[in-house]
Structure 1
Amino acid sequence: MINQLSWKVGGQQGEGIESTGEIFSIALNRLGYYLYGYRHFSSRIKGGHTNNKIRVSTTQVRSISDDLDILVAFDQETIDVNYHELRQGGVVIADAKFKPSIPEDGKATLYAVPFTEIATELGTSLMKNMVAVGASSAILDLDAESFREVVQEIFGRKGESIVEKNMDAIRAGVAFVKEQAENVQTMQLEKADGKKRLFMIGNDAIAMGAVAAGSRFMPAYPITPASEIMEYLIKKLPKFGGTVIQTEDEIAACTMAIGANYAGVRTLTASAGPGLSLMMEAIGLSGMTETPLVVVDTQRGGPSTGLPTKIEQSDLMAMIYGTHGEIPKVVMAPSTVQEAFYDTVEAFNIAEEYQVPVILLTDLQLSLGKQSVEPLSFDKVEIRRGKLDINAKIPDSDDKSYFKRYEVTEDGVSPRVIPGMKNGIHHVTGVEHEETGKPSEVAANRQAQMDKRLRKLNNLKFNNPVHVNAKHEEPDVLLVGFNSTRGTIEEAMERLESDGIKANHAQIRLIHPFPTEEVLPLVKAAKKVIVVEYNATGQLASILKMNVGHAGKIRSLLKYDGDPFLPKEIHTKCKELL
């Protein structure tokens, strides 16, 4: 009996690889196992190698595993590309159609199962992925009926006969492995706790968070890896009286979001690096007009089109400093799918309370990687709209004509109204303006308005800006990261501790304004600081040095080849840097 294993399915994009992984993982999730999945795919609709690696465990996991127990191959390329990950004693289950072969190193056992032939005999070759699921369940010694609930959900709308045909395909896969293969090498998982958990990607959590926060409009332009947010809300928002509009480009999406927020409708837009570049001028407009705005940036490989389906964290500096001029801006960085839900709600609250643009920063691994998530608590959702009260009675202004929308206040946040409120008329422009919004180039006014805007974030309240795991008062090393690196760092820390190295961990959740007060004591206490990030220039390390100093003890652990960190990579590199 084992408490965790790693399973991977691979083949050509467009031949059912994703659905194979979905059916396998959802069924195990329903049994109560914790899962973490990461999908490698090409930036094209069909063709090119793709694989889906699923880690299954009886305890919480937040990273892909170093090695591989079971590889399901729909073509020889899958074996050639992924065989090296298999541990000693691993298993390869491959479609007999392509006459699979593995190296003669004795590391793994090959089961050639006629996926395509069995599926064809049952009615259609399209069911070969279900045969593969059945073959996998035979290796795990799982009952084929474990998959019925998932099959029913996926194919039930097509009729019971289709459901039964797919179940027949799963059962046939089980039967072939057990009957045709001698001395089947099973890998039995310890029994799971049976608890119900969500199994979802970060993009879905963000979309759910937007609905829970009261957002009812999303203008957006499709782009990998952000499109799932838009796709989720296309289905869900109409049920709450909302809508999604696919705009002609990201510029239109961002300006439309500003307009909707100005009208009082909580609105977000989402994109990736190339789209955010187009939005920068509009984000500046949000800052100048003090209109709330929530923008999601799902980071991917750049520059230009770069690696649109691969992991990278290279938008950090752009999100903080990309806009021309100086405006108050908040950049948040959730590190788990669960945090992505709650942080999205908080992004809307902060945007309205401080009347600023808020960028919710994720990366491809967090946005598209699937994680087991404990049930979300909607009781924790709080909606705060700051100084906007649509039922407020606004007194007549001194000149009986204009409202002081940009009034200079001690906290930097001015009273806010929406169109149609009596006595709320004011001017809105992207040029510098005085308190009623009328353009003004008077030097004293310019300084007063700039100072007012920049005061807003002096008293920013953000719960848990840094996720801290600090077991030691004087650690040998402090590991620092943001977004999806959290789980991998946590696993590497455990290995460092086993080596006798005292390690602490800080995962930065508020990138800007930087939480110096929370991070500085951690940096001071550590002998060395290693910043783990997916880029070539050490952007988070640079931000850390700018805000806390101690540059002499800060080192970078960088990866920018498009593949995610493995725990063993961080463990090994940290020992080298120490």
Structure 2
Amino acid sequence: MTTSSGSGSVSIAMCGSGGAGVMTAANMFLDAAAEAGFYALFGRSSGPQIRGGEAAALVRLGVDPITSVDDTFDIMLAIDWQGVQRFAAELPLSKNSIVICDPSAGEVPEAYVKSGARIVHLPMKDLAKAIPGGRPNMIALGAVAALIGFPVAPLTEVLGKSLKKKRADAFEASVAGVKAGAEAAATLGECKKIGAPKAKDVKRWTITGNYGTGLGAIRGGVRFCAAYPITPATEVLEYLSSALPKVGGVFVQAEDELASVNMCIGASYGGEASITSTAGPGLSLMIEGLGLSMASETPVVVVDVQRVGPSTGIATKCEQSDLNIAVYGLHGDAPHLVVAPNSISDCIFTTQWGVYLAEALQSPCIVLSDQALGQSRGIIDAPADVAFVGKRLVAEAPAEGEVFKRYANTASGISPMPVPGQPGCQYTADGLEHTETGTPTSQSSDHVMQLDKRQRKLTGHDYGNHWATIEGEGDIAVITWGSCTGAAREAVDRARADGVNAKLIALRLIYPTRPEHLGDALKGVKKILVVEQSHLGQFTRYLRGEYDLPVKPEQLSRPGPLPMRPGEIHARLLKMGK
């Protein structure tokens, strides 16, 4: 998959206080873009109060698939300035940008004036008042569409689907507002235009990463979820709460994260593939439960939609700083699975794969998503429905006179697992070290045998080509993961156009490590750039600690909440390519 390099895309920020309707307008814009044949990425920025208050809808619209924000916004539209200055650092503008604001909203904040962007006025509130039931957000929607050359017909079609059956007067007022805004845009001057959409060769979806995560879980065979709501993972639970009953599954809103993970382990012990979803603070609480899952070899999947930490941090912003706890957080020697999606679409596949791996290897699996993937909504090509469905090695009743060995020291490290009540297959499943039959033991030989067994089943598994996404060739390698992948991919494309060839390696399987595979991918590489969203460079330290890299890597990292942008990675690649 390739992304727009910028020439075929337009980036728009729509801002306003609570109730201004910028999110409603942006969602309608995205639906219309899908109808018209475009691709898009839509994220949101809000204040620390999470719901209500000021908000910014951030939309990048293009003719090619888009998996990253751009370097700057071409249009910034402010219905009002209440609290918008909080987003100044997240809304980079240039001299080629245009700021559209209502003259009644007062003075333009200094940060936006200093950007050098062209500032124009559009009386959105007055235009809306002239329409019975009119709203400024529809004026804004029509103006933005006209400025970039977006067709009005898909907008009115989306408005009809959304409003016509509910309230005809609201539909008529919204259509009138869009048309009034489009007409008024003629007075605002020129702006960057969107190209003509390409013919649809595949069906397209509009979906968030969190909903994709829920879909991947269902496709992977999950039939039980217990979870406690937490930003930015709650949408995973919203999806599963309605989807699971449709496939004969069960959803439980637990009282807290400890109960959530333990309910899931219990359901898994009973034979059902189980999942829970949380964020960093919740993962911390689940760690003891994950140790029980690992020691008892009871599969469970935990989705961590990462946010800015530590502690409560910034709940509505993205960061990749849960890597250390995900990989190393369990006490004792506790090898387990950690996987990470690298796009909205990949949230579907990676979660499904994570369920498959957890079930096949009888291990806990942490899926490290993040806020930028989980809460962003994108127009994507419909993903293939791959055949990864979690299946356990099922135990059979032992022959007469034989003792059932739940934790038999097999060559693969995987032992047959019964369901409770299966004749002849009774065993103890707890967190104590045990013999092959499950009997608690303190013997060194038993401990070492079980340690080796639990490690062997992970390191000996064939993960195929799914361990990483590898694209391009060159003597420079960009190694990244998670939501940084989209920006890194676009930067590599830009560098190639400038004569600097680089290879993109985005890890999907974080643990266990694949030293031979990464070694092969890095053959001929003379320079390495690691791109991540972490203050301490956790991913860089992880790579240097777990892999024998051919050269010392350069590091491009910073904490959230600011996203990694293609331009800064591109600039570093050009410098490295000299």
1:278-315 Cα offsets, whole Å, 9 max, x none, are 00000000001100111111111111111211121111
Question: The residue matched to 1:303 in structure 2 has which SS?
Answer: coil
Q: Is the 8 A contact 1:134 1:144 kept in 2?
A: yes
**What does residue 528 of structure 2 align with?**
529
**What does residue 555 of structure 1 align with?**
554
State the Cα distance separating 1:510 from its structure 2 match: 0.8
Matched, 1:457 2:462: no
Q: Is the 8 A contact 1:8 1:53 kept in 2?
A: yes
**What does residue 391 of structure 2 align with?**
385
Residue type matched to 1:548 in 2? Y
Q: Is the 8 A contact 1:94 1:100 kept in 2?
A: no
Q: Is the 8 A contact 1:93 1:135 kept in 2?
A: no
Matched, 1:306 2:305: no
Relative to 1, partners in 2 of residues 1:442 and 1:17: Cα closer, same or farther, differing over 3 Å? same
Q: Is the 8 A contact 2:280 2:306 kept in 1?
A: yes
Question: The residue matched to 1:298 in structure 2 has which SS?
Answer: strand
Partner Cα separation in structure 2 for residue 397 and residue 445 of structure 1: 25
More off after superposition, 409-418 vs 101-110: 101-110
Partner Cα separation in structure 2 for residue 453 and residue 105 of structure 1: 58
State the Cα distance separating 1:573 from its structure 2 match: 3.5
Relative to 1, partners in 2 of residues 1:222 and 1:146: Cα closer, same or farther, differing over 3 Å? same
Q: Is the 8 A contact 2:65 2:380 kept in 1?
A: no
Q: Is the 8 A contact 2:206 2:379 kept in 1?
A: yes
1:63-83 Cα offsets, whole Å, 9 max, x none, are 111122211112236489379
Correspondence for 1:5 among 5, 10, 27:
10
More off after superposition, 183-192 vs 343-352: 183-192
Correspondence for 1:119 among 120, 128, 147:
128
Residue type matched to 2:444 in 1? A
1:490-522 Cα offsets, whole Å, 9 max, x none, are 222233334443322211111111121121234
Matched, 1:41 2:43: no
Residue type matched to 2:173 in 1? K
Correspondence for 2:473 among 471, 474, 496:
471
Q: Is the 8 A contact 1:141 1:186 kept in 2?
A: no
The higher relative CO (CA closer than 8 Å, separation ≥ 6) is in 2
**What does residue 172 of structure 1 align with?**
180
Cα RMSD, aligned residues only: 2.6
**What does residue 130 of structure 1 align with?**
138
Which structure 2 residues correspond to residues 230-309 of structure 1 after superposition, within 5 A? 230-309=237-316
1:252-290 Cα offsets, whole Å, 9 max, x none, are 111111011111111100111111010000000000110
TM-score by length of 1: 0.91
More off after superposition, 315-324 vs 157-166: 157-166
Q: Which runs of 5+ in 2 are unaligned?
A: 1-5
State the Cα distance separating 1:381 from its structure 2 match: 2.7
State the Cα distance separating 1:41 from its structure 2 match: 1.7
Partner Cα separation in structure 1 for residue 470 and residue 149 of structure 2: 40
More off after superposition, 217-226 vs 286-295: 217-226
Question: The residue matched to 2:406 in structure 1 has which SS?
Answer: coil
Partner Cα separation in structure 1 for residue 360 and residue 237 of structure 2: 25
1:43-76 Cα offsets, whole Å, 9 max, x none, are 2145554212211111122211112221111223
1:528-566 Cα offsets, whole Å, 9 max, x none, are 211111112222212222233247521211111410011
Which structure 2 residues correspond to residues 142-161 of structure 1 after superposition, within 5 A? 142-156=150-164, 158-161=166-169
1:416-461 Cα offsets, whole Å, 9 max, x none, are 1112323222222211122232222233222222222222113222
Correspondence for 2:397 among 394, 398, 420:
394
Relative to 1, partners in 2 of residues 1:353 and 1:168: Cα closer, same or farther, differing over 3 Å? same
Residue type matched to 1:394 in 2? A
Number of aligned residue pairs? 565
Correspondence for 2:337 among 330, 336, 342:
330
Q: Is the 8 A contact 2:489 2:504 kept in 1?
A: yes
Relative to 1, partners in 2 of residues 1:414 and 1:51: Cα closer, same or farther, differing over 3 Å? same
Partner Cα separation in structure 2 for residue 550 and residue 462 of structure 1: 21
**What does residue 20 of structure 1 align with?**
25
Which structure 2 residues correspond to residues 181-196 of structure 1 after superposition, within 5 A? 181=187, 184-185=189-190, 187-195=192-200, 196=203
TM-score by length of 2: 0.91
Q: Which runs of 5+ in 1 are unaligned?
A: none
Q: Is the 8 A contact 1:482 1:533 kept in 2?
A: yes
Partner Cα separation in structure 2 for residue 480 and residue 82 of structure 1: 26
Which structure 2 residues correspond to residues 414-453 of structure 1 after superposition, within 5 A? 414-453=415-454
Relative to 1, partners in 2 of residues 1:112 and 1:397: Cα closer, same or farther, differing over 3 Å? farther
Matched, 1:480 2:479: yes
Partner Cα separation in structure 1 for residue 199 and residue 523 of structure 2: 44
Q: Is the 8 A contact 2:50 2:316 kept in 1?
A: no
State the Cα distance separating 1:84 from its structure 2 match: 7.3
Q: Is the 8 A contact 1:467 1:509 kept in 2?
A: yes
Question: The residue matched to 1:85 in structure 2 has which SS?
Answer: coil
Which structure 2 residues correspond to residues 27-106 of structure 1 after superposition, within 5 A? 27-46=32-51, 48-76=53-81, 78=84, 81=88, 85-99=92-106, 101=108
1:309-343 Cα offsets, whole Å, 9 max, x none, are 11211111211110011223111111112221112
Relative to 1, partners in 2 of residues 1:141 and 1:550: Cα closer, same or farther, differing over 3 Å? closer
Residue type matched to 2:535 in 1? A
1:325-366 Cα offsets, whole Å, 9 max, x none, are 122311111111222111211111111111000111112112
Q: Is the 8 A contact 2:358 2:390 kept in 1?
A: no
Relative to 1, partners in 2 of residues 1:551 and 1:142: Cα closer, same or farther, differing over 3 Å? closer
